[in-house]
């Protein structure tokens, strides 16, 4: 009986050994994919998770690129990725996983999906930091109206609120995304006796010395009708305050996507390896910033009073 059981066990073992291992074929990039290798012989891309476990393979034609996030974007070059704060972490990761052998760093390989690595301006609001006290002047002004008849009514128009002009100059450009132009939302804080908190949209260019200007009139206009006696002239007296406030801010550019390590000799059976920056580095390690100075000019009209003489 024992020999029979032995033969059955041996047969089952041989069958199990002969059964092929089915590789998982993927059509989309799994969220937990942190690195990949290129199999040049089969023309496929092999995906791995952070524990170095194989997730499956993808055909080159179906290998999808990352989703862009943020404002204006541009391709991230191999030189630029090495200027990111977290580059040393990426390099150490590659050394640990595939060895510190002779290799070339690359991004956006033509043989693979375009825009495999990109850098985008943040789409979050950029806060303006006020530098020093505002410089303000206040004037008393008058405005007349349209009179109907020798003794009747006069329509007086009044505008209340604040009109803004924001001039922004790039004072320090970043080494990444040079020349990139983007629209940003600038948060204006509440400035005592000048303005309530608000936000303005302007254009910033990642090139030192570049200046842009934007205006936003948040004044509201209404009409006041006044009974004007014969021989009288009615007008509106009001206060007009103009202020100039200096400020500064920083605009982050955030890198995302894949960095390629092209080895001169095979390491772990492959020449080409790539790592997903988003999975290895936090946003701070993938970010650089430009600095800008701003001049905020405001005109506020208030304290209207009807005067008939």
Grade residue 290 by pLDDT with cuts at 50, 70 and 90.
very high
Residues 173 and 295 in one domain: yes
Most confident residue range from 17-21, 22-26, 157-161, 288-292:
288-292
Does residue 6 lie within any of the structural domains? no
Residues 147 and 219 in one domain: yes
Residue in the block written with tokens 């005067």: 307
Domain with 135, as residue range(s), is 126-251+291-308
> In terms of Cα–Cα distance, which of 262, 264, 260 is closest to 277?
260
Residues 173 and 300 in one domain: yes
Does residue 25 lie within any of the structural domains? no
Cβ–Cβ under 8 Å, residues 237 and 304: yes
Is residue 13 classed exposed, middle or buried when 0-12, 13-18 and 19+ CB atoms within 10 A define those classes? exposed
Residues 131 and 103 in one domain: no
Residues 199 and 262 in one domain: no
Does residue 8 lie within any of the structural domains? no
Does residue 20 lie within any of the structural domains? no
As a whole number of angstroms, the distance between CA 302 and CA 177 comes to 44
Does residue 36 lie within any of the structural domains? yes
> Given this model, what pLDDT does residue 9 score?
55
Residues 240 and 264 in one domain: no
> Of the given ranges (67-76, 104-113, 167-176), which has the lowest mean pLDDT?
67-76
> Given this model, what pLDDT does residue 27 score?
64
Does residue 55 lie within any of the structural domains? yes
Three-class SS of residue 285?
A: helix
As a whole number of angstroms, the distance between CA 69 and CA 278 comes to 12
What is the 3-class SS of 162-224, one letter each residue? EEEEEEEEEEECCCCCCCCEEEEEEEECCECCCECCEEEEEEEECCCCCEEEEEEECCEEEEE
Residues 61 and 190 in one domain: no
> Given this model, what pLDDT does residue 20 score?
46
Residues 157 and 298 in one domain: yes
As a whole number of angstroms, the distance between CA 89 and CA 27 comes to 30
> Given this model, what pLDDT does residue 168 score?
98
* pLDDT tens readout for residues 187-208: 999 988 888 899 999 999 999 9
Q: DSSP letters of 46-108?
A: EEE-TTS-EEEEEEGGG---PPP-SSSEEEPPHHHHTTSTTHHHHHHHHHHHH-S-SEEEE-S
- Provide the domain count of the chain: 2
Residues 177 and 219 in one domain: yes
Residues 136 and 202 in one domain: yes
Residues 82 and 114 in one domain: yes
Residues 259 and 113 in one domain: yes
Does residue 11 lie within any of the structural domains? no
* pLDDT tens readout for residues 131-158: 999 999 998 887 766 555 555 777 777 7
Q: Could you tell me the pTM of the whole model?
A: 0.74
pLDDT of residue 85 exceeding 90: yes
Does residue 1 lie within any of the structural domains? no
As a whole number of angstroms, the distance between CA 154 and CA 148 comes to 6
């Amino acid at each position: 009986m024992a020999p029979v059981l032995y033969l059955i066990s041996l047969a089952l073992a041989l069958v199990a050994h002969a059964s092929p291992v089915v590789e998982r074929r993927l059509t989309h990039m799994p969220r937990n994919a942190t690195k990949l290798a290129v199999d040049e012989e089969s023309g496929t891309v092999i995906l791995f998770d952070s524990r170095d476990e194989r997730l499956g393979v993808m055909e080159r034609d179906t290998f999808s690129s990352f989703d862009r996030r943020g404002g204006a974007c541009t391709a991230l070059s191999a030189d630029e990725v090495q200027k990111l704060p977290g580059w040393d972490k990426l390099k150490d990761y590659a050394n640990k996983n595939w060895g510190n052998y002779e290799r070339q760093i690359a991004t956006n390989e033509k043989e693979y999906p375009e825009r495999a690595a990109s850098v985008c301006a943040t789409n979050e609001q950029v806060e303006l930091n006020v530098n020093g006290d505002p410089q303000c002047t206040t004037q008393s002004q008058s405005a007349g109206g349209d009179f109907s008849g020798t003794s009747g009514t006069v329509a007086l128009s009044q505008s209340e609120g604040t009109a803004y002009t924001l001039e922004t100059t790039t004072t320090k450009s970043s080494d990444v995304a040079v020349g990139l132009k983007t629209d940003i939302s600038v948060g204006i804080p509440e400035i005592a006796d000048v303005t309530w908190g608000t936000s303005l949209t302007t254009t910033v260019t990642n090139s030192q010395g570049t200046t842009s200007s934007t205006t936003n009139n948040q004044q509201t206009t209404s009409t006041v009708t006044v009974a004007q006696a014969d021989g009288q002239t009615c007008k509106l007296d009001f206060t007009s305050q103009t202020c100039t406030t200096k400020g500064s801010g920083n605009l982050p550019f955030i890198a995302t996507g894949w960095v390629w390590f092209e080895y001169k000799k095979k390491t772990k059976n492959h020449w080409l390896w790539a790592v997903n920056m988003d999975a290895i580095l936090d946003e701070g390690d993938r970010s650089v910033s430009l600095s800008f100075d701003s001049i905020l000019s405001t005109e506020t009209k208030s304290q209207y009073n009807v005067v008939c003489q």
